[in-house]
A and B are shown apart, each in its own frame.
Chain A
Amino acid sequence: MSTISADWINPFILATTEIFKDIVGVEPKLSKPYVKQTDEPLFDISGIIGITGEAIGSIAFSLPKQTALKVVSRFIGEEVLGLSSDTRDAIGELTNIIAGRVKKIFYEKKIHIKISIPNVIVGKEHTISSAKGIPTIVIPFETELGNFAIQASLKKA
């Protein structure tokens, strides 16, 4: 079974927790991370950013529709009602900000990575497959706005 050490997962947990507190105004509660075994669908919308440099892989920020609407409403300061192009853009930008914070934390650990421009996937049962040989850790969070997950796929380059 593929695994990722805590040193590689903690930046994702720390970045997500900090950004949620700063932007959304809620402190997400971490549930137990687990190694993703299949391409099982998780949620309704995902922002995905590729990672290159001294580590390669991706970060996906996945939410159920109702949680996404509440999170985006807090982010932009206006109520959103559906997964419109503006809502999708906001999820992409939130993913970008979380990935940027992940990059900074890795930089402070002397690991230099680059992040891509975000892509956003919408679909009730969408799956996210990581590249072969790159393990994916699902990091679930609970908040008063609903649950969401970060999927971190990463290995040393």
Chain B
Amino acid sequence: MKIITIDDSSTMRRIIKNTLSRIGFGSDVLEAEDGKQALGILSQTKVDLIITDWNMPNMDGLTFVKKIRSMREWDDVPIIMVTTEAAKEDILEALKAGVNNYIVKPFTPEVLKEKIEVIMGLK
């Protein structure tokens, strides 16, 4: 499974990549620093799952999700948002924009595994 993780923090990208490896999904992980860079990568590469932060410079996660969902080739790719935005209204806004599932930082490997398995229909 090819996954792209989008976060302006190199630390979070590293933690997510390490966590994906620990839970058995780390074999093919791409990285992007923001939504704009991710759109560039996705214009050339097909992925099976997108894991994105919300607050990022250049193009934030919410704008990125709305753009992706407006493109026919990406309108059904599973998207998990991993963010510090934990208020109920934020979660609803992200779901409305097209996010399939939502994780609030900090998260455990078990939570990420559970969300991926559910979203990918593995459970």
Contacts and interface: CB of A to CB of B under 8 A. Distances in A.
Given A76-B15, A89-B10, A117-B8, A96 B86 contact: no
Contacts of A100: 83-86, 104-105
Interface in A88-115: 89-90, 92-93, 96-97, 99-101, 103-104, 107, 112, 115
Interface string B45-58: 00000000001110
Interface residues of A, number: 23
A77 B15 CA distance: 9
B27 interface: no
B123 to A, nearest CB: 25
B106 A23 contact: yes
A76 B84 contact: no
A96 B104 CA distance: 12
Interface residues of B, number: 21
Contacts of A107: 86-89
Interface string A77-95: 1000000011001101100
B11 A19 contact: no
Interface of A: 19, 22-23, 75-77, 85-86, 89-90, 92-93, 96-97, 99-101, 103-104, 107, 112, 115, 117
